[in-house]
Amino acid sequence: MTTEVGSEAEVKKEAEKLEPDTAKEKPEEASESLENQKTEETEETQDSSSSPVPTSQSSPTSRKERDPSEGKGISRFLPPWLKKQKSYSIAEPKDEAKKKAEGDEHVEECERQLPEEVAELKGEAAAENHQTKTDDKEEEKHSVSSAETQPAKEDSKEIEVEKVTEEPEEKLEEETGKRETKEVQTTEIKMEKAPQKAPKKIKTVQCKVMLLDGTEYSCDLEKRAKGQVLFDRVCEHLNLLEKDYFGLLFYENSDQKNWLDSSKEIKRQIRNFPWLFTFHVKFYPPDPSQLTEDITRYFLCLQLRQDIVSGRLPCSFVTHALLGSYTLQAELGDYDPEEHNSDYISEFQFAPNQTKEMEDKVVELHKTHRGLTPAQADSQFLENAKRLSMYGVDLHHAKDSEGVDIMLGVCANGLLIYKDRLRINRFAWPKILKISYKRSNFYIKVRPAELEQFESTIGFKLPNHRAAKRLWKVCVEHHTFFRLISPEQPAKGKFLTLGSKFRYSGRTQAQTRQASNLIDRPAPYFERTSSKRISRSLDGAPVGITDQSLLRDLSATAAGPTGDEAAVLAKLKNGESREEDGSPIKSPPLELTQDGKNNSLKVDGENIYVRHSNLMLEDLDKTQDDLLKHQASISELKRSFMESTPEPRPNEWEKRRITPLSLQTQGKVGPRAEGPCSGARDADKSSHETLSVVEEKKRAEVGIEETVVINEINEGKIQVAIDGGEPCKVEQLSKKDSSSTSSESSSSSESEDEEVGEYQPYHRVTEDVIREEKEGNEDAKEVEGYTAKVVQCVESVIEGSKEKVSIGHAQVAEESLVEGNAVSGTPEEKSFTEEAKQDLREEREEEQLKINGDLSHIGIDVKPQIICCSEPPVVKTEMVTISDATQRTEISTKEVPIVQTETKTITYESPQLDGSAGGDAGVLLSAQTITSESVSTTTTTHITKTVKGGVSETRIEKRIVITGDADIDHDQALAQAIKEAKEQHPDMSVTRVVVHKETELAEEDEG
């Protein structure tokens, strides 16, 4: 594993060089990030010159570049020897999985992990996002940042480079790759640098994909190909550029549909041959008029026609008729009395139960569409279809806590709960703090409602564990796609994780919109002849469920991958649709449990702090308790806003929905009224996605379900096994499970079979935040208040034998911009990764947007005052357990785990900040983050410039983390930090200081 460092660093450099270059191509968009980047670079140079590290070009680079690879999480607090450990720990589960899947080659797999996969990748250049474990972070980070800045255009550059080195047979693949995001390209670059290996004998497998028009596409794929390869081929075949809305489905047990994960090998996902897939819309765009190309809309239409005919998308009679008439217009053109005799319509199916009356109505309406081009007819179709209440809602059968049958519907806006046809609850994404599953249970943790103090966790029972996981994944993907600017990093860097690390890895809607704005090609020609083609394909070809006529004729006999829909159809034939399972009427009280965890926290700042910690905990690891994570990382702060964010605001598309339809023209490009982001601002915002969060410790948990973890416990030097506190509801459950069903507890590391998974939807879309604030309700103000209080902090953390003091966020405000301060020492502690930087910058920015109403207060020089002090070292937390919906026995208990950690938080701040909530937001000019590091100190400096009411304000926030093995004089360190801050910015004032100290007691855990 260590051998890869060299090549990695090299690659990294390469990527680095590339980035500014490519960024130049789109200066306006990239300017901000470029600026930041430059500053960072300068900073790094300065930094290294001031530290004992040699300033030669390569050495610092490689060090710095390697650091990020370790992730922004725990790892930076780890001594190097442990880091190595970490990379193994990550590799292991994967190997484990492989072993399971293949039943052999364990050792070989381990060894070839890096080089061979790389070689393989070369063969399938389009496979995005494939990285070896240790460097994946940096890769991703780069891909993110570059994707931000140059969404699509720069591709040609990379392609050229590749053509030099790649084998000719791969050209085709690369062509596909052209449309990929930067992610792919960085990978490719890396691969070039990676040691070349002679291609192995390639085994191929035939794949068949049912397309939306009822035809079948088949191709041979290398056995080890990733989902992305196939998906790209299909999209290429379809000539589809805006492909992020689509996906490939495969069926499990003929009725469970699963999305093919692009980032994983196909053979690990689909167990049986032949490989049969269905091309399907995965994310229904809430406003199809925002799609760039007509061809994309056409495929969406085909999907919707299928959805309608199968009954998945219920409509009224009139809507059936209207949509049907647009279908006719699109496929046949204007009504022609001569050509379109009475039965021209009979080859179409418009509804599950089509009547003569309906057909007459369709014809009648068809006549009124004279003059509409096919593209316009499709647009009209979509304008009407998108208003249907079940449009884009992915339904899952479940039971509530009382065992009542319900349906969970995942859509762009959140999670909908249906009982029969009725909507009985709805959880918009901003309301959901965490999504998790545990075996066959699915949980959502929601924000406290108004006037409520505690979050509640709501549990649902799915038919089985795979269904629960499927639902969870769909939720994660929908949230990411529709709510985030760019995807989150998968939590691969975690030291100890259990459960699924699954994250959505594709582009988000924001990214795909941005990318499609750059589509510059003549509108591709395509034929809208689905119905005819379908009828032809009836003679024998194993056609999927696709088209109307097919469905009509074949619904009873649909087989293979279409089983699911056939079943639905069969039901429909009986005049029932899926939702009408007709169970007794009973208002199902959803299970609500409240977390009692915050009860004991009375002090203002403290409270907030802990809340952050909780969040962070839940987020990064499932096995820790509240107190271990008292690092007030900015992301936590950010989350605290989010936590107190009021009711969800209307989404962009909601608003757009109201706006009249503008008929789409062929191949339209150029900026539209953009969604959550556009242009340069996007680029700047994109890093919101990173999961961020400074995690200072890793923990092990007793009874975790992955063997790897147990190994880790054996090897790890500083973990303390800890019983989960509040955020560990699920973990507590897992313990129970592991004691009761031990067979499951030891070996479930196979990737597709995780028992648990968690995901926390962070609502980082800045615009949302802004919008929310503008609405100006009390919640928002409250939020501001919080922020103001917690923004700045100086923290100290002592961990195990190491000790960390972090002094951060010594905030200063004035018209000066200062570079970060470096505390001298020997370089040992890891710096923030660049990701973290980005992240912080972003967060900072967001914060700024939230709170810059306060800035006017900040300029006043006030001596820090202590407003809150330490919390008890041992916190009792109450555990909440969700009862299983089917077994009516409550298994919830109250456990009071004792935390083997001492934490202490002291906050100093200017009193001004308190009253400073409110005020209007200024305009953010720039935000940047600078990180410097030395021996045991990491300093992160955030500089944000805003203009409010003509006055420009600069806010600097420093976060210093000191880690040490020996005792550190914290007071002195703090004093030093404050002094330095004051010296560096004499004309600014320190407004807030937070010290956080964390001491880990020992490993004497009984676990």
Candidate list 424, 518, 898, 1001; residue touching another protein; CB under 8 A? 424
**425 belongs to the binding site for another protein (CB under 8 A):** yes
Positive or negative, the CA dihedral 262, 264, 270, 273 is positive
Whole-number minimum distance, CB 403 to another protein, in Å?
17
3-state secondary structure of 220: strand
Retrieve residue 181's tokens. 């995001």
Query: Per CB under 8 A, which region of 36-44, 165-173, 308-316, 676-684 contacts another protein?
Result: 308-316
- Kind plus residue range of the DSSP H or E element containing 209: strand 204-210
Asked if 318 is part of the footprint of another protein (rule: CB under 8 A), the reply reads yes
Rank residues 313 and 805 by Cβ distance to another protein and give the closer one. Answer: 313
Which of 181/644 has CB closer to another protein?
Answer: 644
- Find the binder of another protein among 207, 322, 568, 791 (CB under 8 A): 322
Of 425 and 870, nearer to another protein (C-beta) is 425
From the list 588, 602, 590, the residue with the least C-alpha distance to 453 is: 602
Cβ-count burial 889-922 (b if 16+ within 10 Å, e if not): eeebeebebebbbbbbbbbbbbebbeebbebebb
Q: Which is nearer to another protein, 429 or 762 (CB)?
A: 429
Q: What angle do CA 483, 489, 148 make, to 5 degrees?
A: 65
| Positions 836 through 895 that interact with another protein (CB under 8 A) | none
Shortest distance (Å) from residue 175 CB to another protein: 40
When asked if residue 55 is in the footprint of another protein (CB under 8 A), the reply is no
> Which helix (H) or strand (E) segment is 446 a member of?
strand 441-446
3-class SS of residue 35: helix
Q: DSSP assignment of 949-982, as one string?
A: TTEEEEEEEEEEEEE-SS---HHHHHHHHHHHHH
Give the x/- contact pattern for another protein in 931-970, rule: CB under 8 A: ----------------------------------------
Per CB under 8 A, which of residues 56..85 are in contact with another protein? none
- Closer to another protein by CB, 391 or 437: give it: 391
Q: In sequence order, what DSSP letters do the residues of 590-632 get, joined into one string?
A: PP-EE--TTTT--SHHHHHHHHHHHHHHHHH-SS--GGG----
| Smallest distance, another protein to C-beta of residue 416, A | 8
CA distance linking residue 146 with residue 19, whole number of Å = 6
Nearer to another protein, 94 or 361 (CB): 361
- Closest to another protein by CB, 424 vs 874, is 424
Cβ at position 988, least distance to another protein in Å: 41
Task: Specify the stretch interacting with another protein by CB under 8 A; choose among 105-113, 271-279, 424-432, 944-952.
Answer: 424-432
Closest CA to 673 of 703, 690, 653: 653
> Residue 585 or residue 860: which is nearer to another protein going by CB?
585
Q: Which distant-in-sequence residues (6+ apart) come within 8 Å of 952 by Cβ? A: 815, 925, 945, 946
Closest CB to another protein among residues 395, 817: 395
Q: Considering only CA atoms, give the Rg of the chain.
A: 28
Which conformational region is residue 711 in: left (phi greater than 0), alpha (psi within -120 to 50 degrees), or beta? Answer: alpha
The residue ranges of DSSP E strands in 223-318, in sequence order, are: 246-252, 256-259, 275-281
Q: Determine if 422 is a binding residue for another protein (CB under 8 A).
A: yes
Distance in Å, CB of 618 to another protein, minimum: 23
Least Cβ distance, residue 419 to another protein (angstroms): 8
Nearest-angstrom CA–CA distance, 330 and 336: 13
Least Å from the CB of residue 387 to another protein: 7
Alpha carbons 947 and 926: distance in angstroms, whole number: 10
Taking alpha carbons only, the member of 430, 425, 443, 411 closest to residue 484 is 430
Q: How far is the CB of 316 from another protein (least distance, A)?
A: 5
> CB atoms < 10 A from the CB of 1, how many?
15
Closest CB to another protein among residues 353, 747: 353
Residues binding another protein: number (CB under 8 A): 33
The residue (of 444 and 798) whose beta carbon lies closer to another protein is: 444
Instruction: By CB under 8 A, name the one of 423, 573, 888, 979 that touches another protein.
Output: 423
CA dist 632 and 791 (Å) reads 8
Closer to another protein at the Cβ: 309 or 610? Answer: 309
Angstrom distances, CA of residue 914 to CA of 2, 449, 874: 50, 24, 29
Question: How near is the Cβ of 541 to another protein at its closest, in Å?
Answer: 33
C-alpha triplet 417, 422, 424: angle, nearest 5°:
45
The one among 21, 35, 220, 654 contacting another protein by CB under 8 A: 654
Minimum CB separation from another protein for residue 343, in Å? 23
Q: Which of 306, 319, 883, 936 binds another protein (CB under 8 A)?
A: 319
Amino acid at 117: E
The answer to whether 623 and 705 have CB atoms below 8 angstroms apart is no
Stretch that binds another protein, among 49-57, 156-164, 642-650, 695-703 (CB under 8 A): 642-650
Is residue 452 a contact point for another protein (CB under 8 A)? no
Whole-angstrom distance, CA of residue 695 vs CA of residue 628:
9
Contact between 735 and 480 under an 8 Å Cβ cutoff? The reply is: no
Q: Which helix (H) or strand (E) element contains residue 461?
A: strand 456-461
> Which CB atom, from 345 or from 550, has the smaller least distance to another protein?
345
Closest approach, Cβ 449 to another protein, in A, equals 8
650: contact with another protein by CB under 8 A = yes
Out of 360, 450, 452, 920, point to the residue binding another protein (CB under 8 A): 450
Quick note: the x/- pattern for another protein over 577-596, rule CB under 8 A, is: ---x----xxx---------
Residue 497 three-state SS:
coil
Provide the minimum distance between the beta carbon of 650 and another protein in the complex, in angstroms, as a whole number. 4
Q: Among the candidate windows 63-71, 244-252, 384-392, 718-726, which touches another protein by CB under 8 A?
A: 384-392
Under 8 Å between Cβ of 955 and 922? no
CB of 315 to another protein, least distance (A): 5
- 220 near 122, Cβ under 8 Å? no
Distances (CA, A) of 386 to 302, 323, 666: 14, 11, 20
Task: Give the residue, chosen from 58, 316, 355, 887, that forms a contact with another protein under the rule CB under 8 A.
Answer: 316
Measured from the CB of residue 426, what is the shortest distance to another protein in angstroms? 5
Q: Name the residue nearer to another protein (CB basis): 404 or 733.
A: 404
Place of tokens 């994109």: 686
Give the binding range for another protein (CB under 8 A) out of 47-55, 397-405, 646-654, 743-751.
Answer: 646-654
Minimum separation from the CB atom of position 18 to another protein (A): 42
Stretch 387-406: interaction string toward another protein, x if CB under 8 A: xxx-----------------
Nearer to another protein, 108 or 654 (CB): 654
Dihedral sign for Cα atoms in the order 743, 250, 144, 652 = negative
CB closer to another protein, 18 vs 416: 416
Report if residue 358 touches another protein, rule: CB under 8 A: no
Residue written as token pair 């209007």: 920
The correct pick among 163, 421, 888, 894 for binding another protein (CB under 8 A) is 421
Q: Say if strands 441-446 and 456-461 run parallel, antiparallel, or are unpaired.
A: antiparallel
Least distance (Å) between residue 450 CB and another protein: 7
Interface residue list for another protein (CB under 8 A): 314-319, 321-322, 361, 365, 368, 387-389, 413, 419-426, 428, 450, 580, 585-587, 647, 649-650, 654
